[in-house]
Amino acid sequence: MNILVTGGAGYIGSHTVVELLRAGHDVVVADNLSNASEEALKRALTLVREERPDVKEIPFHLVDLRDRAGLEKLFAAHDAFDCCIHFAGRKAVGESVRKPWEYYENNVGGTLTLLDVMRRHGCKNLIFSSSATVYGDPSTVPITEECPKGRCTNPYGWTKWMLEQILTDLHAADEANGDPKPWNVVLLRYFNPIGAHPSGLIGEDPDGIPNNLMPYITQVAVGKLDHLNVFGGDYDTPDGTGVRDYIHVVDLARGHVKALAAVERGCGLAVYNLGTGRGCSVLEVVHAFEEATGVRIPYEIAPRRPGDVAACWSSPEKAERELGWKAEYGIAEMCRDAWNWQSRNPNGYKA
Ligand code: NAD
Ligand code: UFG
C-alpha cells in the first residue's frame, strides 16, 4: 500500500516507517520536525536497505499539518495514498497543562486540516495514535477497550479523546448516509512505548530533561543525570511504586502493519489496545535495567507526581484475536535496546 506517515520522523513514527518498508509498503513522511530530526529517517533508510536494497529513499516533506496549502502540495506530488498513519502531535503531558491552547490547536486543529485534505483527495483510511491516557484512572485492570473512557486528567489526554470522538463521528456519518466509500478508522491506544530498534541506530531522542521513565533511566546510566527520582513509594501496588504496561517500540510499530491489513479488509471503525498485558513497577524496571545492562541506577523515593495513576496495564487480547498481533519482546529486551541506543548515541541524533 502507499502510506502517508505523519510524524514519521519522530520516535514511534521512525520505527514504524522501518517496519512498513520491511513489509513491502511504500511510504511518504510528513513532519514539521518540531520534535524530531531528519537524521532519524536517514538512519531508517540505512536499516531498511539491509533487507530492501530497492528502496532508494524515504520521501520526506517538511510540512506542518496546520498548513493546508503545504498539505495540498504534498498530496498533489504523490500517487493517491491508500492510508494515512497519523502520529503527528505534541505529546508532553505537563506541557499540555501549561499550554492547553497550543495542544488543542496543534493536535486537534492539525488533524482536522489533515482529514479534510485527505477526504478531498479520496483517501478515507486512517490509523490514529491514541493513548491509554483516554482511560484516565482505571477502576479495574487489565484495561479492555470497553472500559470507561473520557476521564482525562490533562489537555493532552483530552486531545486524544476528542480526536477519537471526531473520527468515530466521521465513520458513523458515512455509515448512516450509506456512503459507498466510508471512512475506515483504526484507533490504536498505546500503553507505554519504550526501547529502541535493536540495531541502536534509531531511538527516542527527548529534548532536554526527559519526563518519561526509560529515557530518564538511560540518561542516569550514561552519566548525564545524577539519579532517578521515583515518583511515589506509597501506591497500592506490590512494591508501592507506579505500575505500567511497557511495550517495546518495535512491537508497537509492527502493530501498525497489522492494523493496515485491517484497513485493507475494510474494517470500518476499529479500536485496539497495544500493550503487553503485563504490569511492571518503577522499581521492577530499574532492576530489570540493571540486570540487562550491568549499569547501576541510583534512585530516591520522591513525592508522587500530580496526575499519575497507581496502576495501568492492558488487556491486549482483542488485538491478538482480530489483528493477529502480539507483543514479542519482554522488559529485559526493552531495557537492553534502550541502553544500546543511548550508549551509542549519548546526545541522540545530535552529532
Ligand atoms: P514524537 O514527538 O517523537 O513524534 C511526533 C512527531 O510529530 C514529531 O516528529 C513531531 O516533529 C511531529 N509533529 C508534531 N506536530 C506536528 C505538526 N503540527 N505537523 C507536522 N508534524 C508534527 O512522539 P512519539 O512518541 O513518536 O508519539 C507519536 C504519537 O503517539 C503521538 O501522537 C503521541 O501523542 C502518541 N503516543 C505516544 C506515547 C508515548 O509514550 N510516546 C504514548 C501514547 C500515544
Ligand atoms: N516515573 C518516575 N520517575 C521519573 C519518570 C517517571 O518514577 O522520572 C514513574 C511515573 O511516576 C510512572 C512511571 O514512571 O509511575 C511511568 O511514567 P512515564 O512518565 O514514563 O509514563 P506515563 O505512564 O506517565 O505516561 C506515558 C506517556 C503518556 C501516555 C501514557 C499512556 O507519557 O503520553 O504513557 O499510558 F498517555
Closest-CA residue, ligand 1 atom 43, reads 131
Q: 343 CA distance to ligand 1 centroid (A)?
A: 23
Q: Which ligand has an atom closest to residue 5 CA?
A: 1
The reply to whether 156 belongs to the active site is yes
Average pLDDT (315-325) is 98
In this predicted structure, what is the pLDDT of residue 130? Answer: 98
Residues with CB under 6 A from ligand 2: 91, 93, 131-133, 191-192, 211-213, 216, 228-231, 242, 244, 282, 305, 308, 312
Among 11, 16, 251, say which to mutate for ligand 1: greatest number of ligand atoms within 8 Å of CB: 11
pLDDT per position as a tens digit, 75-134 = 999 999 999 999 999 999 999 999 999 999 999 999 999 999 999 999 999 999 999 999
71: how many CB neighbours lie within 10 A of its CB?
Answer: 25
Q: Which ligand has an atom closest to residue 136 CA?
A: 2
In this predicted structure, what is the pLDDT of residue 216? Answer: 98
Residue 351: pLDDT band with limits 50, 70, 90: confident
Q: 169 CA distance to ligand 1 centroid (A)?
A: 23
- Ligand 1 near 203 CB (within 6 A): no
Of 11, 156, 216, 329, which residue is the catalytic one?
156
pLDDT per position as a tens digit, 219-241 = 999 999 999 999 999 999 999 99
Closest-CA residue, ligand 2 atom 32, reads 212
Q: 35 CA distance to ligand 1 centroid (A)?
A: 8
Residue 150: pLDDT band with limits 50, 70, 90: confident
Q: Does residue 42 surpass a pLDDT of 90?
A: yes
pLDDT per position as a tens digit, 48-62 = 999 999 999 999 999
Q: 86 CA distance to ligand 2 centroid (A)?
A: 22
Closest-CA residue, ligand 1 atom 41, reads 193
Residue 175: pLDDT band with limits 50, 70, 90: very high
Average pLDDT (144-156) is 94
Q: 188 CA distance to ligand 1 centroid (A)?
A: 14
Average pLDDT (317-328) is 98
Phi, psi of 197 (to 5 degrees): -60, 135
Max CA distance (Å), the chain:
60
Q: Does residue 186 surpass a pLDDT of 90?
A: yes
How far is Cα 296 from Cα 56, in angstroms, rounded to an integer? 42
- CATH number 3.40.50.720 is the correct assignment for the domain at 2-344: yes
- Ligand 1 near 33 CB (within 6 A): yes
3-state SS track over the chain? CEEEEECCCCHHHHHHHHHHHHCCCEEEEEECCCCCCHHHHHHHHHHHHHHCCCCCCCCEEECCCCCHHHHHHHHHHCCCCCEEEECCCCCCHHHHHHCHHHHHHHHHHHHHHHHHHHHHCCCCEEEEEEEHHHHCCCCCCCECCCCCCCCCCCHHHHHHHHHHHHHHHHHHHHHHHCCCCCCEEEEEEECEEECCCCCCCCCCCCCCCCCCHHHHHHHHHCCCCCCEEEECCCCCCCCCCCEECEEEHHHHHHHHHHHHHHHHCCCCEEEEEECCCCCEEHHHHHHHHHHHHCCCCCEEEECCCCCCCCEECECCHHHHHHHCCCCCCCHHHHHHHHHHHHHHCCCCCCC
Q: Give the chain's radius of gyration (CA, Å).
A: 20
Closest-CA residue, ligand 1 atom 14, reads 89
pLDDT, mean over the chain: 97
Q: Does residue 139 surpass a pLDDT of 80?
A: yes
State the cell numbers at 129: 495514535
Residue 316: pLDDT band with limits 50, 70, 90: very high
